[in-house]
């Protein structure tokens, strides 16, 4: 089945021209285990919004597509999508029950020429290392039948790949499915961030400008400069109170309800129901914030480098104003 078909299969509309409905992302749209790939989420929302654009369902004018992901998007869970009219475009939101997961827009953009990409100079300097991947990821997964199955090369100055799209990304009109742009560019952006920070994270904002349709059989160059990335140290959660083994975990998801973090010490498993008292959320530019957490789930994960870790989701217990201000600084006042 082609990517376009999977997207259409995932969407439910009450009727033609409906501005709201449901979206259930299949397991094939995985990024992190159990969580949707950010580019895959954007691909689905673009497919929903595109027919409602002022110039219709076809790519006549350039489009600017941008979303902010406030929370991780679960797979195989019914989500509610909604479209709203904007000047020159369409606004879109994705909710899970009362929680806003994603919001963004698709707008008609001024005409313009693409920035010449080309391969970086170091691409011709011998064999370059390749980023790792996992089997099921929508972008890098070697066993995902609708995945890009793409692994980028990297060097001191750039991340890049010369690439021919796989058959699932051929549109019915012979062009390259727009979903490709979102998945590929989210993936290379993610790797640029990982190589800069030295740690894994999650996508929280994506913006892509589509200028014109691309023939499916066009050889592509996908590249990004590492010099353009501003490294921001990740948030960390440190717990060292009595009653359990101390740990230092990287926060990969944050919402008004709680946080998700990766625990690299694979010998520590936090059982659901565990209460973590006086944990410290450490920030690179401010004093730590102390918070009590209750563990809701823990699941083992295999990281892109092949190592093992645990991902845990926790809710805040009686969060202070300081905690809520930290959350709002990440989500924005309308998140």
- Helix or strand or coil: residue 100? strand
| Same domain assignment for residues 205 and 103 | yes
Range of the domain at 167: 3-228
Please, what is the Cα angle at 122 between 219 and 167, to 5 degrees? 20
CA-to-CA dists, residue 81 to 78, 105, 139, 205, angstroms:
10, 13, 23, 18
| Same domain assignment for residues 255 and 188 | no
Output the pLDDT for position 334: 39
Last residue within a domain, chosen from 182, 198, 228: 228
Output the pLDDT for position 116: 64
Find the radius of gyration of the CA atoms of the chain: 20
- The 10 Å CB-count burial string (b at 16+, else e) for 52-79 is bbeeeeebebbbbbebbbbbbbebeeeb
| Same domain assignment for residues 55 and 163 | yes
In the chain, how many domains are there? 2
| Same domain assignment for residues 119 and 82 | yes
CA-to-CA dists, residue 69 to 40, 73, 101, 108, angstroms:
12, 8, 6, 21
- Helix or strand or coil: residue 300? strand
| Same domain assignment for residues 121 and 183 | yes
| Same domain assignment for residues 140 and 33 | yes
| Same domain assignment for residues 172 and 313 | no
| Same domain assignment for residues 169 and 270 | no
Output the pLDDT for position 55: 74
| Same domain assignment for residues 144 and 275 | no
Alpha-carbon span 294 to 39, nearest angstrom: 31
DSSP 202-254: ---EEEEEE-S--BTT--EEEEEEGGG----PPPEEEE--TTS--EEEEEEEE
Phi first, then psi: what are they for 106, rounded to 5°?
Answer: -125, 120
Output the pLDDT for position 305: 65
| Same domain assignment for residues 162 and 247 | no
| Same domain assignment for residues 199 and 297 | no
Alpha-carbon span 73 to 95, nearest angstrom: 9
| Same domain assignment for residues 250 and 200 | no
CA dihedral for 296, 297, 303, 308, sign (positive or negative):
positive
- Mean pLDDT (10-residue bins), the chain, 335 residues: 91 87 95 88 92 76 87 90 92 91 89 68 77 90 94 92 95 92 94 79 82 90 88 77 76 80 78 90 78 90 74 88 75 44
């Amino acid at each position: 089945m082609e990517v376009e078909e999977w997207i259409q299969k995932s969407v439910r509309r009450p009727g033609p021209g409906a501005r709201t409905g449901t979206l259930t992302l299949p397991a094939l749209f995985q990024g992190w285990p159990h969580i949707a790939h950010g580019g895959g989420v954007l691909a689905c929302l673009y497919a929903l919004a595109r027919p409602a654009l002022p110039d219709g369902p076809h790519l006549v004018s350039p489009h600017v597509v941008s979303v902010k992901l406030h929370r991780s998007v679960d797979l195989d869970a019914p989500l509610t999508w909604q479209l709203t009219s904007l000047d020159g475009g369409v606004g879109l939101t994705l909710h899970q029950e009362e929680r806003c997961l994603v919001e963004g827009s698709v707008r008609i953009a001024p005409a313009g020429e693409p920035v010449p990409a080309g391969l970086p100079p170091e691409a011709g300097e011998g064999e370059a290392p390749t980023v790792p991947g996992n089997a099921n990821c929508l972008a890098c997964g070697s066993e995902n039948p609708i995945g890009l199955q793409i692994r980028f090369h990297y060097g001191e100055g750039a991340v890049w790949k010369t690439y021919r799209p796989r058959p699932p990304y051929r549109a019915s009109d012979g062009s390259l499915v727009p979903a490709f742009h979102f998945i590929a560019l989210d993936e290379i952006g993610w790797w640029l961030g990982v190589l800069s920070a030295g740690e894994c994270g999650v996508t929280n904002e994506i913006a892509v400008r589509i200028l014109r349709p691309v023939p499916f059989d066009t050889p592509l160059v996908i590249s990004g400069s590492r010099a353009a990335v501003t490294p921001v140290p990740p948030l960390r959660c440190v717990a060292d109170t009595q009653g359990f083994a101390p740990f230092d975990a990287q926060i990969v998801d944050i919402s008004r309800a709680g946080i998700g973090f990766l625990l690299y010490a694979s010998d520590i498993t936090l059982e659901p129901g565990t209460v973590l008292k006086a944990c410290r959320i450490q920030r690179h530019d401010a004093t730590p914030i102390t918070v009590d957490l209750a563990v809701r789930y823990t699941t083992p994960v295999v990281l892109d480098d092949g190592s093992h870790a645990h991902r845990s989701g926790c809710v805040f217990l009686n969060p202070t104003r300081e905690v809520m201000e930290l959350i709002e600084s990440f989500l924005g006042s309308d998140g």
